[in-house]
Structure 1
């Protein structure tokens, strides 16, 4: 396959006439225990948790971004990790109060916090809600105790169900993460997890295929009895069909929601919106009239904390997204969405002419990977299944 279908003249420079919506991502990198499949920037808690110092560092970090986003409203906040729910409700309250004092947070902003059932405490969950969190994302992964042990999780089935029950009674929106294609899992076992989650009444589910990521214990030594590729595909199809039959829209590669329950923060990512990223290892994307800048923070918490206490700018690297990479970066996000995005957004959010991707779009339509409607950039069912093939057409 010829992937070199996007070409540019050397003088072409993106020019944005308007700015996309802006979100805020906050990274809290600590976990009680590091899971063997996880490649996120997370670190097992050793000794006393530096809550106060880290919250202060996060707010110092946010202040470094203010000149780059001054006056722009923030529509969503996502506190991820790690396991942010290891922090106390008081720390999350201090953090959110500090964010409100520094940026223009919209009154109806979606504020998500990730939590694990192993950190489940009734008073803590209620305190998060009182601090302003209105969406909780719970990392359950499975309701089978044997599978949970194989994944290195610290909670059990009953703790997961109790956490979901309290979350649904406390927060306006709740997501549950589940994994499939687990060691020794078949279709019926995977569907048991799905049906258990549905029975709780949760209205948003994220369903992920277990993958062996490099530089993880599972990446070095995969667990035994993983489903073969064909069996894993059967499991994936069954999970997706069960959720669709239950009235959930499969609106993104791994996300399923009932009407009105889609994650607004993640939608902004996939629609090539902007986001500030603060915290150890956090990534950000900020647009300006002359182009798009990516930001990355120091990855290790000790390095990040030290820099924020003395020379904050040293913890932040900034790099402009080169023109040749913009089509792929835009499509890599937008084409994860089942409905895609309006075609006009490519020009609006990259600053490039639609002509820059027209040859690649035409080829994708011819190959049955992209819908032929010129008003939208939308993958077909075939394109969603072979997403990597579709995206390769937009590589420079």
Structure 2
């Protein structure tokens, strides 16, 4: 039997359809109700009416202008709707249904039945746990209730303290700005080869943001032209952060270009950045430093003019290094302490293998730094320098600096 659903009967039939065993489709009405069944003509482009075949038998026709939408159901949902229509409203029935929904990955339906279980039995532990509740301080609480009680908020799927979130956001913003400087410095670097060179130089030397250090160091590493390298080195010295000064100190010691090394020393001499002192001192004291590196570190310490370097300079006035003969660059050296494991002064590795010998070096730049800092000159006599320093310390005012220094 087929008949047209009139306005007066529409709400009643919609209510009836909602309680009947479910069909393949759900017809959502503009009035707020719904009718469940199989929409026979659902594939028509613009039907004037929807024909609905009910599970209980018979068909209904609903004017299209009374329908908000039609929701097509997949077979598994149809099966669920049929089971739900036969379900008793008990704890056991809803719990069993929730487990069936879990096996069939019907999440929303599973949650519906779990929540019905705890409505009927508030202390049902299984349903509580599956809904995410935890037994805390004598009561069942949701994760949200527990975490909010700790002062946490949910952020990107995780419960976190607001101060930690703020720190993370600050770190991300810092990294964003750091990366932005790569782009900006790169743009100015491209200007250095054309008519905008003076503007580029002005812009680079005017940088005041410490977050630009990495971009400047990267540019310096990849640059060969001396004039441009000097711009980057000066910009780093102007910033005067620890990382910026470390780059200038490293270049003053390690760079192969003598002119650029001397320029870096000029920057150190002019600006006397505080972080440079410990950096040069570390190179001077390191057992891995070559005598070349020791002498260059001494030059930096001389320019800094800090009397605290005097004991370390005295200690490194004469150093012993291992020199590799054969199997590598001639004259390459490393600092050594003590004797080799067999008690000899050198180590051979057989025919064709490199041989190491120990050699004593007097470090001229170290002596020059001592003369400059103290106004004294005991040559390379370590004992004489140590005796002088001991006398100066006994005066309880520390060693006197050279009064002739600027």
Give the TM-score normalised by the residue count of structure 1. 0.24
Return the structure number with greater strand share: 1
Give the TM-score normalised by the residue count of structure 2. 0.24
Return the structure number with greater helix share: 2
